Chain A
């Protein structure tokens, strides 16, 4: 089975802080991988290196056997890597629909000076996604007026426009109240479509969510990978319980 994403001996330092040391990961098509770890463990750094926002000090990252280490975020996006953000990065002054249309426009292979951004095909595509993420009701509202949860969903929906190979979700449920978390993840998963070929990598703190939705867990601690296995196994290891879930404090 061929890896969608491969990280080879990836290292990154910020001054004295080690954000990534010898990361070696292979992610396979269709996997739902959850990155866990306490704050500053290197999860987001890893995500940022995949999307090209940060460049590794050493090592390469391969997408479908193509080295993407040196590429710009834009190029990587065009190769089929999309991401959402811990704090949704949206266009507050525009309506939900227009936000989706921006995403659409960016994915149009040939940008055009006259082709209307609001042409029917684009709107249909956008509406379809909005529908999958249960956002249709907000369709023509200004994003600035929307509640946090809805923004999270829109953020992800936009990332999904252009149907990426690999989708990176940075703490999809952060800032969402406990009782909303599960419905939210349900919507997201529904939005992804269970059968879809989209491989998902999501950074998550809530272990119940991880347990329920991840097919595989990669645990980080101070830039190292301390566990990489199915949720059951990974979450049971001492390191994870000590450094991530904090169950074995003081031993």
Chain B
């Protein structure tokens, strides 16, 4: 793929930056799945953490090293953990949904801080993954993780697009505007919401696993509310219309963050904040609105 080839020419720091952006983008993709139904989770850091810790623990404790397999496990486990909460959360809307997910992620954060088998607040490192039975050489590992990540992301992006255009996807979109009518047309709002939450968890889990393998480290901080806030920001920045916009937005955020923090070490947070404000103010429908016309896609 074009992007994969470009990656070969990029400076290492940029391949890594995009790897992280794509991994985080997956979490935000999950948020968009929910946003299309009219709810925004403020605790996706939780599923990110679950995915990450799953991959990291399987790697360290069970000696499973295949990157692809670990990624899938991350997603699946995250979905499984999220599943029991889905029916409960499907009852909530607006700020209450946001706050309940936030509370859940903060409880997860507390537990991770506590459990010293999981490395406590310092977290722990994991070694280098393998891919389909091949060891990854030093100078290649970054690039290979990059290709893996963008491949997974692209696949998920495609699946997401297909889902968004499916009958379920359309009903989700309808739910956002008028739940009552959906019920009176014979569609189940809560069922749709629950499904979306589990799907979102799956995406988040994938992202978490990929990010952790690229970073080689995991810590409870990823479940803290500020992390979740950034995922939400990427989703809002992208808007709910275009899937691709999501990954563009994620890259943009990473670039802004990394350059501001190396060029204004003392005021990078301020720079980031101002950037957020400008975007929210002048791109109300997100980056996606730059090339997606109309409201229905």
Contacts and interface: CB of A to CB of B under 8 A. Distances in A.
A and B touch in the complex (CB under 8 A): yes
Contacts of A95: 296
For the residues of B in contact with A, the DSSP-based class is: helix
Contacts of B271: none
B186 A162 contact: yes
Contact of A112 (B167, B173, B183, B186): B167
Interface in B179-196: 180-188
A83 B184 contact: yes
Contacts of A98: 170, 296
Contacts of B116: none
Interface in B189-213: none
Q: What is the interface residue range for chain B against chain A?
A: 20 to 34
B184 A112 contact: no
A104 to B, nearest CB: 8
Interface string A73-97: 1100110001101000111111100
Q: Which of A93, A102, A114 has the largest number of chain B CB atoms within 10 A?
A: A102
Given A74-B183, A83-B184, A89-B180, A113 B168 contact: yes
Contact of B177 (A91, A104, A115, A117): A91
B166 A73 contact: no
A92 B295 CA distance: 10
B37 to A, nearest CB: 13
B167 A117 contact: yes
A74 B187 contact: yes
7 contacts: A73-B183, A102-B170, A102-B185, A105-B187, A111-B168, A113-B162, A116-B167
Interface of B: 162-163, 165-171, 173-174, 177-178, 180-188, 295-296
Given A73-B184, A74-B186, A162-B185, 4 more contacts: A73-B183, A106-B182, A117-B166, A142-B295
